Structure 1
Amino acid sequence: MSNLKEPKIDAERRRARGAQSNAASRYDAQREEVQDGWDIPEERAIFATEVSEERPRTMITRNTSPDIPFDRSLNPYRGCEHGCTYCFARPTHAYLGLSPGLDFESKLVARPKAAEVLEKELRRKAYAPSLLAIGTNTDPYQPIERRYRVMRSVLEVLQQFKHPVAITTKGTLVERDIDILSEMAAQGLAQVGISLTTMDVALSRAMEPRCPLPQRRLQTIRKLTDAGIPVRVMLAPVVPGLTDHEIEALMEAAAAVGATGMAWIMLRLPMEVAPLFEEWLEAAYPGRAAKVFARMREMHGGELYHAKFNKRMRGEGIYAEMIAQRVEKARVRYGLEKDMPALRCDLFEVPFERDGQLALF
């Protein structure tokens, strides 16, 4: 399925990781294996989580994609320790000269000064507020957030500016920030999407190894909604032949704990994600691989993925239409058919500078 085949890393070295291998970045023009004449067995270290730091020039990323309902987003971290095998953000690690495989989930980049940089952007005279999406690439509440608290500091800035924010996460650490999010939600400034893929504990552990278990995420939905924070359940992704039979059960479970809206995305396999997911599926669920990839090709004109706007998120064809119909019927059945409340932009205001002076410029 790809020419990116690499030897699998020993299972003990990649314990609690999602990817099976660590292929070089697609930007590495030349890869060469050299025999140095030594054949002495060598113990290799496990893939421990390593975190480096960077100070970006900007924090707000703009997009003009016609099938995305926001034009700006923010990412506190590069890479994601959750290690989801299907993550469409994996190829972004190649921009750093790192592998979209195990490097993506073990060599992370934190942005400790994110809030400071964001504040300067929001103070610019020409800045016009609009929904800011966080968690659309890598998870802002992955485990290292407990140490770095980048997301917490970003939310504090957004609260000060009364800036609308929509968060997507699998991380239960979002509960830590209920104090800020509930106050913002009361003003129509915040909502959260909690991603669910399966209720099968074994499948969840294999497919998204360092994510909180599904039942724990349902508890998070309840805690957020009890605090007055609107929550959308995200079926992201629906995996053909592996999780698609759970669509109704996932929606029913989320509605039962207070979710008021839902969204869904079909499995996406851009660039390096396809061979990585293939490796994982053939190792973990070999009996399902043929069906999963047959469905993917059916939805993308014979390819595993096609990045056409308005088609890439859902696919095309009979199977894709069937899934869409099932989702719509279940939305009505479980009371998830309403749109999430629109977030307010009219409350945005530039607060005093930290030294107490008026922010005129």
Structure 2
Amino acid sequence: MNSNNFIKGRGAQQNTPNRFLENSHETRDDFLEFCRLEGEDADKNKTQYIPIFPKTIVNKVNSPDVGMLYSMNPYQGCEHGCIYCYARNTHEFWGYSPGLDFERKILIKKAAPELLEAKLKSKRWEAKTIVLSGNTDCYQPAEKKFGITRACLEIFQKYRHPVGIITKNSLILRDLDILKELAKDRLVGVNVSVTSLSEETRRILEPRTASIKKRLETIRILSENNIPVNAMLAPIIPGINSHEIMNLAKAVSDNGARSFAFTIVRLNGAIGGIFTDWIKKALPDRADKVLHQIEECHGGNLNDSRFGIRSRGEGKIATQIHDLVRLARHTYFKDKSFPKLNHESHLPYKSGQTRLF
């Protein structure tokens, strides 16, 4: 790694221009030189929390290959800083860059619990699993300060409504009390992301996430408390973690995961440029090889937008990955399955209390 120009503790190494804005911000070399001479920081690299006030919180997911019908996100932007994150592009809709802004300008939806409760009480709403973190991690560092995710889980518990969770943060264990109650009625399923067993890889790929040891421990503790866990071995990035598939599958299985899912990385929208800039700074010796192998999985491009194919990839490298995944499932998950959640308990609790008749 070239440490001289690498921003520690962040994934993206630049703020790419927002494609929806007419003007863009540029840090000039003469300004950087001035700051150096004055002994000042040109960029303080601080995280900002910005309240926003949406009118709704539950989103219908129209993509046919995502695996969820509804999602909600207490936070927009994510301090975890995963360099490959597909959600980076959504930060442009809020007027920010998908690069460093995505990690440093976190939008906070304090009204999320109230909006969720109104949705679940609606006469027209029929229970369908709502996934926390369809876009950005609901247990990212901001959750320690604001507690919005916990408040939302309390709403799901109150109305006996099924909820899915996607996270790579061990902070979820703080809410073990609520999760155990939800699990008694098959109302919760957790997806824990584990991208590598190498701490060195984790630190540069996902700089502000929980350690690998913590994530495996999280899977184990959730599983020991009868909370079903699906491991997200995603994304698989050729040349970075593709060689770890069997070891990853064994590790999550040994810790109690009931299933695992995977995707092959695709660098859609602005993420292609952000990732390319990052890998040439973080892994310069491997950069070209990794980029070419990603392109080989997507017909010569860093991205493929075709539903059903975009996250599976095509070609020789993708086929090898799929073969390893099949072998891993047969070897470590042959007699395991992830349970279906309960959609039947919600109706009697629609008013927030049990119906008598």
Tell me the TM-score normalised to structure 2 length.
0.92
Kindly state the Cα deviation for residue 54 of structure 1 after the two structures are TM-superposed: 1.5
Does structure 2 conserve the Cα–Cα contact (< 8 Å) formed by 1:328 and 1:337?
A: no
C-alpha separation in 1, matches of 2:9 and 2:219: 25
Moved segments of 4+, more than 6 Å = 32-35, 37-40
C-alpha distance 239-125 of structure 1, shift in aligned 2 (>3 A): same
Q: 1:130 aligns with which of 128, 131, 136?
A: 128
- 8 A Cα contact 1:58 1:117, kept in partner: yes
State the 1:302 CA deviation.
1.4
The CA deviation string for residues 98-153 of structure 1, in whole angstroms up to 9 with x for no partner, is 11111100110111110001101111111111111112210000011011000000
> Which of the two has greater helix per residue?
2
In the other structure, the counterpart of 1:189 is: 187
Q: Which of 51, 54, 59 is the aligned partner of 1:53?
A: 51
Distance 2:144 2:221 in 1: 19
- Secondary structure of the residue aligned to 2:260 is strand
Identity, in percent, stands at 38
List alignment gaps of at least 5 residues for structure 1: 1-7
* Residue equivalent to 1:243: 241
State whether residues 118 and 154 of structure 1, in contact with CA within 8 Å, keep that contact through their aligned partners in structure 2. Answer: yes
**Cα displacement (A) at 1:33:** 6.3
**Partner Cα separation in structure 2 for residue 265 and residue 165 of structure 1:** 22
Give 1:4's aligned residue. Answer: none
User: Aligned residue for 1:216?
Assistant: 214
Q: Which residue type is aligned with residue 191 of structure 1?
A: G
Q: Choose which of 133, 150, 153 in structure 2 pairs with 1:152.
A: 150
What corresponds to 1:5 in structure 2?
Answer: none
Q: Using the TM superposition, give the Cα deviation of residue 31 of structure 1 relative to its aligned residue in structure 2, in angstroms.
A: 4.0
Q: Counterparts in 2 of 1:250-265, with a 5 A limit? A: 250-265=248-263
**Structure 1 equivalent of residue 176 of structure 2:** 178
Tell me if the contact between 1:23 and 1:101 (Cα under 8 Å) persists in the aligned partners: yes
Determine if the alignment matches structure 1 residue 319 to structure 2 residue 317: yes
Partner of 2:20 in structure 1? 27
Deviation at 1:350, TM superposition (A): 5.8
2:299 maps to 1:301: yes
Amino acid at match of 1:149: G
**1:166-222 C-alpha deviation (Å, 9 max, x unpaired):** 111001000011111111112111011110111111111111110011111001111
Q: Cα distance 1:183–1:325, how it changes in 2: closer, same or farther (>3 A)? A: same
What SS does structure 2 have at the residue aligned with 1:282? helix
C-alpha deviations, 1:270-313, integer Å up to 9, x for none? 11111111111111111222221212221212111011000111
- Tell me if structure 2 keeps the 8 A contact 1:55–1:114: no
- Give the number of aligned pairs: 349
Corresponding residue for residue 310 of structure 1: 308
**1:288/1:66 CA distance change after superposition, 3 Å:** same
Q: Check conservation: 1:140, 1:169, Cα contact below 8 A.
A: yes
Contact 1:76 1:151 (C-alpha < 8 Å) held by counterparts:
yes
Tell me the alpha carbon deviations over residues 10-43 of structure 1, each in whole angstroms, 9 at most, x when there is no partner: 847x3311111112211123448699x9897023
Q: Is the 8 Å Cα contact of residues 246 and 328 (structure 2) preserved in structure 1?
A: yes
Unmatched segments (≥5 aa) in structure 2: none
C-alpha spacing 1:38/1:90, structure 2 compared with 1 (3 Å): closer
Amino acid at match of 1:348: H
Q: CA–CA distance in 1 between the matches of 2:323 and 2:31? A: 59
Cα distance change of structure 1 residues 273 and 33 upon mapping to structure 2, 3 Å threshold:
closer
Residue deviations 1:307-344, cap 9 Å, x none? 10001111112221221111111112112664410001
Partner SS for 1:333: helix
Letter in 2 for 1:301: G
175-184 vs 327-336, greater mean Cα deviation: 327-336
SS in 2 for 1:318: helix
**Which residue of the partner structure matches residue 11 of structure 2?**
18
| Number of the residue aligned with 2:283 | 285
Residue in 1 that maps onto 2:69: 71
Shift of 1:55: 2.2
Counterpart position of 2:79: 81
Return closer, same or farther for 1:20/1:349 CA change in 2, 3 Å cut-off.
same
